[in-house]
């Protein structure tokens, strides 16, 4: 007997149903895109805004729905992706204050993100492992901050990200964290000071500095841009995560390629969940041993867990509780 925290009538497991392969994904209802005020502020409480052609998704996460549709065509099929999102940032500026919380929020949403939180912007040359991570990510998310341009590591990362955007059609999003977009685009204020220092440092290789300046300009000219001055960072992070999730292709169900007839069963269970009322629910799946109750429960979990702030899959509860004196 597998118990899930959803409320509905019991579902009896019978013989597998063969069906044509379809791709399913759990998604949230769309909201109309918010208009950006002329002065670039969203209300009086939160001094941040999003500049994007992609509408944001709503915040309601307590109900799941299942929709069948084809594969996303926004990414090239030749690239073998390892990560959904690559996070580029200046460690000493934003690592623990903003970027790590953003990374954790991405992971809770089910987005496989890469973060190099050990470098702290040190080193002259970008590590090969980081280059590989950039190339094998679907989205690169750049966090610009006041001292971003003082790090040649960050500038090399940015240059390679822009290269991947042009050569591999990688999606790139820019976040301006407590820094003016125009300061980055036209290298003003702290970015101007960093540029002067770099030109003096690399006076024999000014072509490299020009390459970095060009990358900064192109990144600041992206259509998908997020600005944060002050206010509620958690709400700002949530919208970025929802936006990144909407840009990714649908998630496939757990082990779906190896099990015939699993997707129709998942859709049937989700339809029962959608009929339930609001609140904590319980769904029972019963049947003889070895016919796939745990497999179905696990596949259902992987299809809906990212709709909730916290989720956990517990299996073999009876056996585990015997080992630890009733504690799971």
Query: Which of helix, strand or coil describes residue 172?
Result: strand
Q: Which residues contact 42 (CB under 8 A, 6 or more apart)?
A: 34, 36, 48, 49
DSSP letter for each residue of 247-305: HSPPPPPTTGGGSTTHHHHHHHHHHHHHHS-SS-B-EEEE-STTSSHHHHHHHHHHHHG
The answer to whether the beta carbons of residues 216 and 191 sit under 8 Å apart is yes
**Of 234, 190, 183, the residue nearest 46 (C-alpha):** 234
DSSP state of 57: B
The residues carrying an active-site annotation are 157
Q: For 241, list phi and psi in degrees, rounded to 5.
A: -65, -45
How many whole angstroms from its chain centre is CA 12? 35
**Of 163, 84, 101, the residue nearest 131 (C-alpha):** 163
Residue 263 backbone class (left: φ over 0; alpha: ψ -120 to 50; beta: rest): alpha
d(CA 155, CA 149): 7
């Amino acid at each position: 007997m597998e118990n899930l925290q959803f409320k509905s009538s019991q579902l009896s497991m019978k013989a597998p149903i063969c069906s044509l392969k379809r791709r399913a994904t759990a998604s949230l209802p769309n909201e109309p895109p918010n208009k950006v005020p002329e002065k670039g502020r969203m209300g009086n409480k939160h001094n941040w805004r999003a500049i994007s052609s992609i509408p944001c998704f709503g915040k309601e996460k307590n109900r799941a729905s299942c929709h069948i549709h084809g594969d996303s065509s926004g990414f090239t099929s030749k690239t073998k992706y390892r990560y959904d999102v690559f996070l580029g940032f200046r460690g000493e500026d934003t690592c623990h204050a903003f970027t790590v919380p953003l990374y954790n929020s991405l992971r809770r949403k089910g987005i496989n993100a890469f973060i190099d939180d050990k470098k702290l912007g040190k080193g002259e040359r970008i590590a090969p492992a980081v280059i590989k991570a950039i190339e094998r990510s679907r989205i690169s998310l750049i966090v610009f901050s006041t001292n971003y341009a003082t790090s040649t590591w960050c500038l090399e990362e940015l240059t390679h990200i822009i290269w991947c955007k042009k050569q591999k059609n990688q999606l790139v999003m820019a976040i301006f964290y407590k820094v003016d977009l125009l300061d980055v685009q036209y290298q003003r204020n702290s970015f101007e000071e960093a540029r002067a220092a770099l030109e003096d440092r690399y006076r024999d290789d000014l072509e490299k500095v020009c390459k970095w300046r060009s990358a900064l300009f192109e990144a600041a000219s992206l259509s998908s841009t997020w600005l944060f001055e002050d206010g509620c960072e958690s709400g700002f992070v949530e919208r970025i995560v929802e936006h990144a999730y909407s840009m990714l292709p649908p998630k496939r169900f757990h082990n779906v390629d190896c099990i015939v007839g699993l997707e129709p069963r998942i859709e049937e269970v989700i339809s029962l969940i959608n009929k339930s009322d609001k609140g904590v629910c319980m769904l029972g799946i019963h049947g003889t041993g070895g016919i796939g109750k745990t497999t179905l429960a696990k596949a259902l979990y992987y299809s809906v867990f990212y709709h909730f702030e916290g989720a956990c899959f517990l299996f073999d509860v009876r056996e585990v509780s015997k080992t630890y004196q009733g504690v799971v």
